[in-house]
Amino acid sequence: MKIFKTKESLSAYLNLLDKKNSIGFVPTMGAIHNGHLKLIETSKKQCRKTICSIFINPTQFDNTEDYKNYPKKLDEDYIKLQQAKCDVIYSPEAPDLYKKNETAKKFNFKTLDLSMEGKFRHNHFNGVATVIEKLFQIINPTKAYFGEKDIQQLQIVKSLVNQINSKTVIIGVPTVREKNGLAMSSRNKLLSFEEKEKASIIYNCLNYCRNNKNQSISKLKKHIIEQFNKAQYIHLEYAEFVSLNNMQPINKWEKEKNNAICIAAYINKVRLIDNIIL
């Protein structure tokens, strides 16, 4: 496994590769967990070389405290990625990707970024798209892998590749879950065992919606709100039923696998998101 800290050294390595080599890319912010490792595994099955980036991207955070508290486990991450037989790690510092005082670019995602994460995390997706564009320019991957847990981000990245005329194919990989259904997330490292157990209410609500799709959306949404109101230890930020076409809220079911129910919630100061495609 090779580790690069600068785009120059990574580019020099990539230039030596056979141009016929397919490159799979997994962008992460570190604190590697089984969800990330599933992305690596999928990439290794489909591509000759797999590259993983580890970079906590400052431009996608609207909350300074959230950015400072984001878990950092670089040495542990290297070990996990080596065990997963990842070929290359790119783990730069911010000055390698951003000029001094550089901010996020402005993109036009039409309606994709108007709801949910776009509504509650100002400028978040511009920050995500800014760093993904930079990383794609350096690596030029054949395929890039993103978890379906961040379903809105996945749709944003698919829009981005069209905007920047990238040939990279975006692959969504199903969410990996803990035994109680909680979606694997780097932020889970900030939760105690008891808090993880309590956070299972998110998946329980999503699963209820999947099992009761014969009910109206308004009735299911009411059920979710009632469940969170009973559970005083966790705060519901949003519960939205959306169309995957435009990530806008829906009142009626669209065709199969074109709907998603998305939830964001706080347990103490830790923000968790999850969804199920219906």
Catalytic residue IDs: 36
Residue 263 Rama label (left phi>0; alpha psi -120 to 50; beta): beta
Indicate the DSSP class of residue 182.
P
Judge contact between 125 and 156, C-beta under 8 A: yes
Q: How far, in Å, CA of 250 to CA of 162, rounded? A: 25
Q: How far is CA 97 from CA 138, 139, 153, in A?
A: 10, 13, 20
Per DSSP, the residues of 184-207 read P-GGGGGS-HHHHHHTTHHHHHHH
How many other C-beta atoms are found inside a 10 Å radius of the C-beta of residue 182? 22
